[in-house]
């Protein structure tokens, strides 16, 4: 594959691993970051050192205008956008602490829906005809849409909305030769776990005990799957929620 991939939330964790994997597959990559400019530039520099082109660009996934500007800047700097990876959570230090579903203000749900579903729709709309005839759209989600995770309701419901929208987009964009999928992970070992758990190490240990493969996921585990659906090998996969959780949902 070739062309440009835009990846939100790519300054760390899963997003940075996805950016590196797509570069390995032959994409030039726009690294989307919100506030971690230095980390975003470091990811871009590593990709350039490996022989592909990359730029780090600021984007706020809670703003459709920012998403459109991000894609436009990526096109201007790198070329035709052939893959969109919507990864950023929109959840950060300025988001209220999560809790039981009925205790969370509706405004938090609305913010999460904008950051997840709004970003996906905005990024794809901005990419437009660039994606025709072989383009790829991938959203990163989690198995929190399928099981109860304390305090996770706003994030899980926004991810579930993305899963539903993916099926519609797969049908509608499929007529233009574009595939649209979700890659869904279980617990992934990144520093973002601290945003949803007061004791990330205890959480990881508990999940590992219930996972047939005996560990939690690593960013590269999801990145490899994103790489597959974005590659030529993934040309016949669309409208799917592809789960990579080490078998945790079976536990």
**Model's pTM, two decimal places?**
0.95
Helices (H), the chain: 13-24, 37-49, 64-78, 106-113, 119-127, 153-174, 193-196, 200-210, 219-230
Task: Return per-residue pLDDT of the chain as tens, 251 residues.
Answer: 789 999 999 999 999 999 999 999 999 999 999 999 999 999 999 999 999 999 999 999 999 999 999 999 999 999 999 999 999 987 665 666 678 999 999 999 999 999 999 999 999 999 999 999 999 999 999 999 999 988 889 999 999 999 999 999 999 999 999 999 999 998 898 877 766 666 778 888 888 899 999 999 999 999 999 999 999 999 999 999 999 999 999 97
DSSP bridge partners of 105: none
End-to-end CA distance of the chain: 37
pLDDT at 89: 83
Task: Report how far residue 71's alpha carbon sits from residue 80's, in angstroms, rounded to the nearest whole number.
Answer: 10
pLDDT given at position 158: 96
Which CATH number belongs to the domain containing residue 130 in this structure? 3.40.50.720
Q: How many CB atoms lie within 10 A of CB 131?
A: 23
Residue 99: count of CB within 10 angstroms of its CB: 13
Structural domain range at position 210: 4-250
What is the tally of structural domains in the chain? 1
In this predicted structure, what is the pLDDT of residue 201? 87
Phi-psi region of 50 (alpha: psi -120 to 50; beta: other; left: phi over 0): alpha
Burial class (CB in 10 A: 0-12, 13-18, 19+), 100: exposed
Q: What are phi and psi of 116, to 5 degrees?
A: -95, -65
């Amino acid at each position: 594959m070739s062309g440009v991939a835009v990846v939100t939330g790519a300054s760390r964790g899963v997003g940075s691993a996805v950016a590196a994997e797509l570069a390995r597959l032959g994409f030039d990559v726009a690294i989307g970051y919100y506030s971690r400019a230095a980390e975003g530039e470091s990811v871009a520099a590593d990709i350039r050192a490996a022989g592909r082109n990359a730029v780090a660009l600021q984007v706020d996934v809670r703003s459709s205008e920012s998403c459109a500007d991000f894609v436009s800047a990526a096109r201007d700097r790198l070329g035709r956008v052939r893959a969109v990876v919507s990864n950023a959570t929109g959840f950060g230090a300025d988001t209220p602490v999560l809790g039981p579903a009925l205790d969370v203000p509706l405004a938090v749900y609305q913010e999460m829906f904008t950051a997840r579903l709004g970003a996906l729709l905005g990024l794809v709309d901005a990419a437009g005809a660039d994606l025709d005839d072989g383009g790829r759209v991938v959203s990163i989600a989690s198995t929190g849409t399928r099981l109860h995770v304390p305090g996770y309701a706003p994030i899980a419901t926004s991810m579930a909305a993305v899963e539903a929208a993916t099926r519609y987009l797969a049908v509608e964009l499929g007529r233009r030769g574009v595939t649209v999928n979700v890659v869904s992970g279980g617990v992934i070992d990144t520093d973002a776990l601290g945003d949803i758990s007061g004791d990330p190490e205890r959480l990881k240990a508990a999940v590992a005990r219930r996972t047939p493969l005996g560990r939690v996921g690593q960013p590269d585990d999801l990145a490899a799957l994103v790489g597959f659906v974005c590659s030529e090998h993934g040309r016949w996969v669309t409208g799917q929620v592809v789960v990579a959780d080490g078998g945790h949902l079976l536990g």
